Amino acid sequence: MATFENFEKLDMRVGKIIEVEDFPEARNPSYKLKIDFGNNIGIKNSCAQLVKNYQKEELKNIFVLCIINFPPRQIGPALSEVLTLGVPDEKGDCILIKPEKEVPIGGKLY
Q: Which of 34, 103, 96, 33 is nearest to 65 (CA)?
A: 96
Count of other CB atoms within 10 angstroms of residue 59: 17
Domains observed in the chain: 4-96 (2.40.50.140)
Tell me which DSSP letter residue 109 carries. P
Residue 71 has pLDDT above 90, yes or no: yes
| Stated pTM of the model | 0.94
pLDDT-derived band of residue 15, with 50, 70 and 90 as boundaries? very high
Residue 102 has pLDDT above 90, yes or no: no
- Alpha-carbon torsion 49, 51, 52, 54, what sign? positive
Q: Which of 70, 62, 69 is nearest to 105 (CA)?
A: 62
